[in-house]
Structure 1
Amino acid sequence: MLREIHLSGFKCFDTLNLPLGRLTLLTGQNGGGKSSVIQALVLLSQTFTYQEWGRSLLLDGPELALGNVTDVLNQETARDSLAVGISSDEQKVKWSFKTNDRHALSIELEQLEVDNLLISTEPNTAIRWLMPLPYAENSPVVNALHHLNWITAERAGPRELLPLRISNDHARVGHHGELAAGLLYWRGQDVVDSSLLLHDTPPTLFNQVRGYMQRFFPGCDLRVTPIDGVSAVSLRLRSDNRSDFQRPQNVGFGLTQLFPIIVSLLAAQGGDMLVIENPEVHLHPYAQQEIGMLLAETAASGVQVILETHSDHVLNGIRLAVKQRKLPATDVRIHFFAHRPGQPAIPESPAMDDDGRLNSWPEGFFDQFDFALAKLM
C-alpha cells in the first residue's frame, strides 16, 4: 500500500508531502491542487505501461494528456525540474526529472533515490519503469503503481455499443469506464470478495453488480450481450423490473455513471489501487452517501482507494462506515485543498475518530449548506 506522495515543482506545488491511507479523500475548491495529486500518480502508471523501457516521464499519453513540460512545471518557481516521490510500507522512491526543452511532451529522468540512497542511472544502465532493472523488478512502489486503476470524472455516457477486447485487456474498467461492460462479460463468473458480498445474491461478479445496482436504483437490472461480428458488447438497462431492457440513453443518466464504479469496486482484488474522481456525478444524495459507504467497505477489503469528491454526502457515507466499524478511522486520510492565490498550495487534513467525527472543520470545507441556511433563517 502507498503511504505518502511527495511532489516538488509539479504544477501548483512547490513542495508537498501528502500522507495516504487505505482510503484517502481529496476535496476542496477548484484549482486547489487535488487533481494534480491524482495526475502525478497516473503519469507514473501511464509511463510504466506505455513507455516501459524509457527514461522520461510521459506527459502526453493515451490515458492522461497534460500537454508539454511547461504545462506541468510549477509556474511560481520558474524551475526546469520537478520531482515525484512515492512511499509504500516497504520502500521509498523519489524520481527527479529535468528538461532542456519546455515544449517537449515528456521530461527526462535526472536522478533516482531509493530509500534515501542515490541510485545510478547512467546512460549505459538498463532502465525499466524508470528504475535500473534489479530495482524495478522487485520494487513494491512500482508494483503498486502497476495495479492502479483510474476512473476519471469524465466517464463515458450512455452508449449503445461498448468495446470488447481480449480478456486480458479488461483487467480494468478503463479511465472513462468504457471497458466495464466488457470486463463484466469476461469475468462475470468471478467470485466477489466475501466482505463485500450481498448475502441474498449469488456471489459471482455479474450477480453482485446487479444486486448493488438494485441497491442504488431499486428495480434496476442489466444485461450484457456480445454483438456478432463486431468487437463490441451492448449494455441494456431497465429501471423497473416490469419494463423491458432499454438502450442506456433511455434510462436515468446516473445508472451509466455509477455502473463502471460498481464494477471496478467489486472486481478489485487485494493489492489493487482504485483512483476515482467524483463518484457522485449524476447521483441523488442517498446514492452519494451509499457510494461513500461502499468505497469505505472496499478499502476495508484490502484495496487502496483514493477519491476526489465535492460531495458532503460521500464524506458522510465514509463517516458512517467508520462509525459502524466497517473501516478503522486510522485507515482514513482526508485532505482539503483551498485555492488561495499568492499562497503555497498546502492542504489542511482533518482527522477522524472512531465515531466518524472530525477534529477540525476548515473554512470552506463542506460548510456552504450552513452559510445558506443561516441566510435563510
Structure 2
Amino acid sequence: MFTRLRLTNFKVWRDTGDVALGPVTLLLGTNSSGKSSLIQSLLLLKQTVLAPDRSVHLSLSGDEATALFDFGSFETVLLQGAGAPRQFSIAFDFERAAATGVSRGSFECHYGQTAARSVAVHDLRLSTDDRQFRAVRREKGAYAIAVDGKTLPGVRGPHYAPERSIAFSAHAVSRLGHDGPVVEDLSLAIRRELEQIRYLGPLRRRPQRDYAWQKAAPGDIGSDGARTADVLMASALLKGNDQGQVVNGVSKWLQRMKVADRLEVRQLGRASRYELVVHRDGLMTNVSDVGIGVALVLPVLAVAYAAPQGSTIILEEPEIHLHPLAQSVLAELFVEVSRERGVQFIVETHSEHLFRRMQTLIARGEVAPDDARMYFVEHDGGNARMRALAVDEFGRVGNWPDGFFGDALGETREQARLMFERRKRGGE
C-alpha cells in the first residue's frame, strides 16, 4: 500500500507537499484542477518498471504492451515556468505485508534532461528503515553512489546509471558489497508495489452481446475495462478454490445498488461462446441491453475482486452514469473490500453522494478518518493546491471549500422563502 505521495514541478503541481494515503483515498475537486496528475505520476512509474528496456530512465510513452498514458515529452511533464534546476520529482512511501524481504520503504527520484534532451535520472534515493541508497548524476552522464549519506570512493561512471527509475545497476550492486542484496530487495519491493497497481479510467468499453472464452484468466482488467468479460468468464468457469469469487462479488454489489439481483455467465448454443446476463425481478437481460450505468460499473466491481490482494486500485470517476443511491454504495464497496481483501483504493470522483456516504460511514464508526483520507484539489494562481479535508470522528468536515457541491441548505431556504411569498401573494 502506498502511504505517502509527493510531487514537485510535475505538470500543474509545484509542490504537493506530503500527501498521506489511506486504505481508501478520495480526490475531489473541479475539472482540470490536477487530480488526474496525482494518479498519473504513479502510472508513469508503473509503465516505466514494465518497460522491456531495463536501461530506460523514464518511459513517457510506454510501448504497445505496457502503455497506460502517453505523457509526451519532458517539457509537457515539467511544470510550466519551473525555475532552475529544471527538474521534476516523484516520491512515495509504501508498506507491504511481506513475510520475507522489505516490508516498508521510500522512493524519491528527480528527473532532468540530458544534452540530447532525453529524460534522465538526476537523483535517485531508495530508503528502508534507517538505510538510504543514492545514485546521483554528475558530469557527462557519470553517476556516483552513496550509502547513508557517504559517497563511495572510486565509484563513478555511466555504468552506475539507475535502471527503470527504481533499480541500481549490476555494477553498482556489486560495488555495494554486503549492502548489494539490501538495495536489490528494496528495488524488488518497489517494483512489486508498482506492478500491482490496477488502473481503471473514466472511458470504459461497453459490453458486447457475446464472447469467446480463451480458457485463461487475464492478468489485468485493462485501463478501459476491455477484459472485464474475460475476468468474469474465468471466475465462473475455471475450477479452483476461488471459483465464482469475482462473479459473486459483482452480484452482491449490483444487488446492494438496487440495479440487479445477480450477474450470470451463460453459455450459448455455440461452443465456447458465452454471454453476460443480468437477472432482475424475474427477468433475464443480456448485459448489452441494460442501462449504460450498469454496463459501465461492471468493470469497477470486477476489478475490486479480481485485483490480487495487496494491490492498489486507482479509479477515475467510478460513478459515471450511476443513479444517486448506487453512487453512495460505492463508498461502502471501497471500505468493505479494502478491509476484506487488503486492497487500497485511490479514487478520483465528482460524486457528492459517494462523498456524503463516506462521511456517514465515518460517523457510524465503520471506517476511521485516517483510513478514509479525503482531499480537495483546486487551482491557485495557475498551480494546483491540495487541501486535506479535516474530517472528525462524526464525519464532519471542518474546512470544506464553499460552493463545490452547491449549497443544499441554501437551496432549501430559498425554496421555502419563495413558497411563503407566493402563498402570501395568493392570500392578498
Normalised by the length of structure 2, the TM-score is 0.75
1:320 to 355, 360, 374: 360
Secondary structure at 1:339 match in 2 = strand
Secondary structure at 1:305 match in 2 = strand
Q: What is the CA–CA distance in structure 1 between the aligned matches of 2:208 and 2:379, rounded to whole Å?
A: 36
C-alpha contact 2:213 2:274 (8 A) present in aligned 1: no
C-alpha contact 2:264 2:278 (8 A) present in aligned 1: no
Displacement, 1:93?
1.0
Residue of structure 2 in register with 1:290 after alignment: 329
> Which stretch shows the higher mean deviation, 281-290 or 203-212?
203-212
> Which stretch shows the higher mean deviation, 95-104 or 143-152?
95-104
Which string of whole-angstrom CA distances, capped at 9 and with x for unpartnered residues, describes residues 141-178 of structure 1? 3321111001111111233356866735x232211111
Displacement, 1:136?
4.9
Displacement, 1:312?
1.2
Q: What is the CA–CA distance in structure 2 between the aligned matches of 1:326 and 1:252, rounded to whole Å?
A: 31
Residue of structure 1 in register with 2:48 after alignment: 47
Alignment of 1:118-267 (within 5 A): 118-119=134-135, 122-125=157-160, 127-130=162-165, 131-132=167-168, 134=181, 135-139=183-187, 140-160=189-209, 167=216, 170-188=218-236, 204-224=245-265, 234-238=274-278, 240-248=280-288, 250-267=289-306
Residue of structure 2 in register with 1:2 after alignment: 2
Residue identity matched to 1:65: D
Q: What is the CA–CA distance in structure 2 between the aligned matches of 1:324 and 1:163, rounded to whole Å?
A: 45
Aligned length: 362
Q: What is the CA–CA distance in structure 2 between the aligned matches of 1:229 and 1:166, rounded to whole Å?
A: 15
Residue of structure 1 in register with 2:152 after alignment: none
Q: What is the CA–CA distance in structure 1 between the aligned matches of 2:56 and 2:406, rounded to whole Å?
A: 45
Which of these two proteins has the greater Rg computed from alpha carbons?
A: 2
Residue identity matched to 1:237: V
Which string of whole-angstrom CA distances, capped at 9 and with x for unpartnered residues, describes residues 177-228 of structure 1? 1112211222346667xxxxxxxxx973322322322222344443335789
Residue identity matched to 1:69: F
Displacement, 1:14?
1.3
Which string of whole-angstrom CA distances, capped at 9 and with x for unpartnered residues, describes residues 274-322 of structure 1? 1111111110110000011111222223211100010111112222222
C-alpha contact 2:245 2:305 (8 A) present in aligned 1: no
Residue of structure 2 in register with 1:110 after alignment: 122
Q: What is the CA–CA distance in structure 1 between the aligned matches of 2:35 and 2:193, rounded to whole Å?
A: 20
C-alpha contact 1:224 1:233 (8 A) present in aligned 2: no
Secondary structure at 1:173 match in 2 = coil
Identity percentage over the alignment?
25
Secondary structure at 1:275 match in 2 = strand
Q: What is the CA–CA distance in structure 2 between the aligned matches of 1:306 and 1:233, rounded to whole Å?
A: 35
C-alpha contact 1:51 1:58 (8 A) present in aligned 2: no
Does residue 363 of the first structure (1) align with residue 402 of the second (2)? yes
Secondary structure at 2:123 match in 1 = strand
Normalised by the length of structure 1, the TM-score is 0.85
Which string of whole-angstrom CA distances, capped at 9 and with x for unpartnered residues, describes residues 76-120 of structure 1? 21564211111124211111111248986xx32222012354236
C-alpha contact 2:375 2:388 (8 A) present in aligned 1: yes
Residue of structure 2 in register with 1:196 after alignment: none
Q: What is the CA–CA distance in structure 2 between the aligned matches of 1:11 and 1:101, rounded to whole Å?
A: 22
Q: What is the CA–CA distance in structure 2 between the aligned matches of 1:223 and 1:361, rounded to whole Å?
A: 42
Q: Is the alpha carbon distance of 1:172 and 1:252 closer, same or farther for their aligned partners in structure 2, counting shifts above 3 Å?
A: same
C-alpha contact 1:129 1:142 (8 A) present in aligned 2: no
Residue identity matched to 1:278: E
Displacement, 1:366?
2.7
Residue of structure 2 in register with 1:38 after alignment: 39
Displacement, 1:247?
4.8
Residue of structure 1 in register with 2:150 after alignment: none
1:93 to 107, 126, 129: 107
Residue identity matched to 1:143: R
How big is the alpha-carbon RMSD for the aligned residues of Structure 1 and Structure 2? 3.0
Q: What is the CA–CA distance in structure 2 between the aligned matches of 1:247 and 1:102, rounded to whole Å?
A: 52
Q: Is the alpha carbon distance of 1:69 and 1:126 closer, same or farther for their aligned partners in structure 2, counting shifts above 3 Å?
A: closer
Residue of structure 1 in register with 2:72 after alignment: 67
Q: What is the CA–CA distance in structure 1 between the aligned matches of 2:274 and 2:44, rounded to whole Å?
A: 31
Q: Is the alpha carbon distance of 1:268 and 1:327 closer, same or farther for their aligned partners in structure 2, counting shifts above 3 Å?
A: farther
Q: Is the alpha carbon distance of 1:332 and 1:212 closer, same or farther for their aligned partners in structure 2, counting shifts above 3 Å?
A: closer
C-alpha contact 2:250 2:263 (8 A) present in aligned 1: no
Displacement, 1:337?
0.8
Displacement, 1:44?
0.6
C-alpha contact 1:275 1:305 (8 A) present in aligned 2: yes
Secondary structure at 2:58 match in 1 = strand
Unaligned runs of 5+ in 2: 96-103, 137-142, 144-156, 170-180, 418-428
Secondary structure at 2:333 match in 1 = helix
